[in-house]
Amino acid sequence: EPEVTQTPSHQVTQMGQEVILRCVPISNHLYFYWYRQILGQKVEFLVSFYNNEISEKSEIFDDQFSVERPDGSNFTLKIRSTKLEDSAMYFCASSELGRLYGYTFGSGTRLTVV
Amino acid sequence: AQKITQTQPGMFVQEKEAVTLDCTYDTSDQSYGLFWYKQPSSGEMIFLIYQGSYDEQNATEGRYSLNFQKARKSANLVISASQLGDSAMYFCAMRDVTGNQFYFGTGTSLTVIP
């Protein structure tokens, strides 16, 4: 079964550093997403991406964050100047055109900011 | 605004018994999708079951079924014949007609007792 692949599975970074979380969505999917889950809390929407641009973003997704699809397969989330409160599990997801159907989530990247 | 409510932070069930995890939702949209995801301790999000708002029959996927009561805006997950491997967090989620994001509940932690 096709998978969404996220790398790395765990990233530790120092406060103030920049991190890039990488995702390879399912090849025929057109919509891409990033979500985050702070430990013990619910999953929160960050951003959706379609046709090489952001289609929707949440209040969490401020200037510290950016997304990019640098080539035909990768989808990245960049977090600049990381803060302790950015520590969370970050999930990438992708979906086909059918808007009322589900995503396929990646297995997540656990980001720890120290 | 969309909202998902899961009122059971933790549930216990005896192995081989059935268990119902509650989920209510709030939306003014007529067209939406309801989903359940399982999150084991390893952290990944595993899709379990989907119910469309216009589906007349309750969704079933193996041991999972969704008790959809549209008038009451509830979408409870029923797990039959619980197994030890069912111990995990379970999240109810909704996707609206724009399809750009999921709204997640706070989750229910299920523990299956041998």
Chain A: nearest CA to B83, how far in angstroms? 22
Q: What percentage of chain A has pLDDT greater than the value 90?
A: 72
Taking residues B52-77, what's their average pLDDT?
A: 95
Residue B94, pLDDT score = 92
The 10s digit of each residue's pLDDT in B88-112 is 999 999 987 776 778 999 999 999 9
Residues 6+ apart with CB under 8 A from A59: none
* Beta strand residue intervals within chain B, DSSP E: 3-5, 10-14, 19-21, 24-26, 32-39, 46-52, 60-61, 64-69, 74-79, 88-96, 102-104, 108-113
Cβ–Cβ pairs < 8 A, chains A and B? 65
Residue B21, pLDDT score = 98
Mutation target to probe the B interface, by most B beta carbons within 10 A, among A39, A103, A107, A111 is A103
Residue A104, pLDDT score = 86
Taking residues B68-86, what's their average pLDDT?
A: 97
Pairing between β-strand A19-24 and β-strand A10-13 as defined by DSSP bridges:
unpaired
Residue A86, pLDDT score = 97
DSSP state of B6: -
Q: How far apart are CA A58 and CA B92, in angstroms?
A: 20
B82 vs A97, higher pLDDT: B82
Residue B2, pLDDT score = 62
The 10s digit of each residue's pLDDT in B49-63 is 999 999 889 999 999
